[in-house]
Amino acid sequence: MPTIFRFITEDDTSQFCHRVSEALSKGWQLHGSPSMAFDTARGVMRCGQGVTKEVAAEYHPDMKLGQQ
């Protein structure tokens, strides 16, 4: 089965945790450590987390990864 990757990003709020938790509940798995960086233009911390998932379909650039 092919494996697909996506990187979830969000401001450092509970919304980021909810997005990652939703992905995990849909079968995605954590990939690597979370990251944080300060967005100087907006004055906020940003979070990111890579996730992977095995899918039945072959990868295609038009895939809607968040809907897999």
Residue spans per domain, the chain: 3-59
Which CATH code fits 3-59? 3.30.1660
Inter-CA distances, 52 with 13, 40, 41, 42, 60, Å = 22, 29, 30, 29, 15
- The average confidence (pLDDT) of the chain is 93
pTM for this prediction: 0.86
pLDDT tens digit sequence for 19-39: 999 999 999 999 999 999 999
